[in-house]
A = this chain, B = another copy of it.
């Protein structure tokens, strides 16, 4: 697979602090952080920072260390019904420390989601539609402003294709989506988020990958909605999509010319949810064990997915949804088992990200201090016997590095 779009081919001129070329000098060029966003749900950072951890579970510290060894990008939960169970009392005391912890470790953080009909705040239903919309926009204003600088990436609105016709239970967001229309509501929530943080990366996110989602995006773009990236969910609890479907989805959603984020990827290492289940949330089981064969299959399928997505020039992020087994739906969907032991998928992905797609080279400058570097885009540590520095290598332009 061609990965040239993920790489730089760059000439560095190494100089000392007086600007003199470092001639014939041995230097080390080491990738510290990929430009590509290798992500995962980072919900475990909340018990870690708050210290509120179920004592019957493995320590959150161990979970987070394993998480940080693998990923540079994490999703934090902003479900309105959980973040603000009671009107006016929000969870900023938990979420801010979690976001600070993650960004302090070089992790890009995304908030998920600002508007959704599921896990929505029930107290909103006490208001009329006009007030619900007003509170929704105020909520966006509050979160986007408060977390600015820490969280500059948001799933602004989630699962709009089904939103106005969702009828499993009454909720405030379906009500206002019905009234404003899909594109009308999307436009309002995106414009609010964009106004509060014009530099933020704003995503539309959906599990529906049909022609309906394509048409929705098309309409939004023609209506001037400031969508930064297209979010595609790929929960595969009912079986691996396979290469063909994955490539077909990429093909259909890439023609908009926007970046694509795979926002919620799941491959289980146990039995599959039967085809006849339409809403995955209807699958309620007491036990859903991981199996050795399932884990081998999971690792292979995840490897194929990551290779295909990393090779596609428009894909900028892949997020695996559950870091550990037993999270959403109790599924064996993680890179770790429930006891925090590492599954083959973890080892496989670590090899891909930190070995196969890594850059760590020792080079020697020429007489004039020049050296040619080829490597994966990202943040680098460049070091010599004289010292070290951190630079971002993301294009092919010549660059002066002071060591």
Residues of A within 8 A of B (CB): 161, 165, 178, 181-184, 187, 210-212, 215-216, 218-224, 255-256
Residues of B within 8 Å of A178, CB to CB, are 255
**A222: chain B residues within 8 A (beta carbon):** 181, 183-184, 187, 219-220, 222-223
Which of B187, B215, B221, B224 interacts with A161 by CB under 8 Å?
B215
Residues of chain B contacted by A161 (CB below 8 angstroms): 211, 215
Query: Which residue of B has the minimal Cβ distance to A182?
Result: B218
Please give the distance in Å from A192's CB to the nearest CB on chain B: 16
Instruction: Give complex CA distance A218, B216 in Å.
Output: 8
- List 6 A–B pairs whose Cβ atoms lie within 8 Å, in order of A's numbering: A181-B256, A182-B218, A212-B212, A215-B216, A218-B219, A220-B222
Nearest CB of chain B from residue A325's CB, rounded to whole Å: 35
The oligomer's copy count stands at 2
A177 CB to closest chain B CB, in angstroms?
11
Whether the pair A165, B219 counts as a contact (CB closer than 8 A) is no
Distance of A134 Cα from B165 Cα, bound (Å)? 39
Query: In the complex, which of the residues B182, B187, B219 contacts A183, with contact meaning CB atoms closer than 8 Å?
Result: B219
Q: In the complex the two chains form, what is the Cα distance from A290 to B42 in whole Å?
A: 66
Q: Is the CB of A221 within 8 A of B181?
A: yes
Contact B182 A215 (CB under 8 A): yes
* A263 CB → nearest B CB, Å: 20
Report yes or no: B220 in contact with A165, Cβ–Cβ below 8 A.
no
Residue in B closest to A219 when the chains form the complex, CB atoms? B219
Q: Which residues of B contact A256 (CB under 8 A)?
A: 181
Report how far A17 CA is from B202 CA in the complex, Å: 70
CA of A255 to CA of B212, assembled, Å: 18
- Which of B184, B219, B224 lies in contact with A220, CB distance below 8 A? B219
Complex contacts, A184 vs chain B, CB 8 Å:
218, 222
Which 8 A-B pairs give the minimum distances between C-beta atoms? A219-B219, A222-B223, A183-B222, A223-B223, A212-B212, A215-B215, A181-B218, A183-B218
Partner of A223, one of B211, B212, B216, B219: B219
CA distance A222 to B187 in the complex (A): 9
Bound-complex Cα distance A167 to B222 (A): 25
Given contact pairs A181-B221, A181-B222, A182-B215, enumerate 8 new A-B contacts (beta carbons under 8 Å): A181-B256, A212-B212, A215-B215, A215-B219, A218-B219, A219-B219, A219-B223, A223-B224
